[in-house]
Amino acid sequence: MIVCDASVILKWIFDEEADGDHANRLKEGHVAGNEIIAVPDLLFYEVANVLATKTRLSEAAVNEAFSLLWDFQLERFDLGLEEFMGGLALSRKYKITLYDAAYIELARRLKCAFVTADNRLYEKTKTVKLVDLL
């Protein structure tokens, strides 16, 4: 099991991005059933927000991209009070957003790796053993 954040998942949608090959290998491993990709429900809001506000895609293309993501059947987790408290502590300690901390906290709870394509997030949290850069 691997936790991936929106920076990785968005590379699945926008294939031309740097590190897209590595991101696609993670996706293909998940689709083939070789690796489970776990995400907090927050991921869907983050990806939808990017599609809706940061792209010039048509409404039909946005809907198609989001539907495709939904169909990947990622292992979704709803964070509870304990995860929020852990995320708050991580956010304060590493000076990262609670959104980013939610992914790391989920990986801690699941005892698995967390993969990000966000260099700034990685630089701030690389001392956390389970954090990997795509």
Q: State the average pLDDT over residues 42-69.
A: 93
- H/E stretch holding 102 reads helix 98-110
Phi (first) and psi of residue 74, to 5 degrees = -65, 150
CA geometry: angle 58, 66, 28, nearest 5 deg: 125
CA angle 25, 101, 46 (to 5 degrees): 60
Model confidence, pTM: 0.91
Examine the pLDDT at 131 and tell me if it is beyond 90.
Answer: yes
Q: Looking at the predicted structure, is the pLDDT value of residue 65 above 70?
A: yes
Q: In angstroms, how far is the first alpha carbon of the chain from the final one?
A: 15
pLDDT at 130: 96
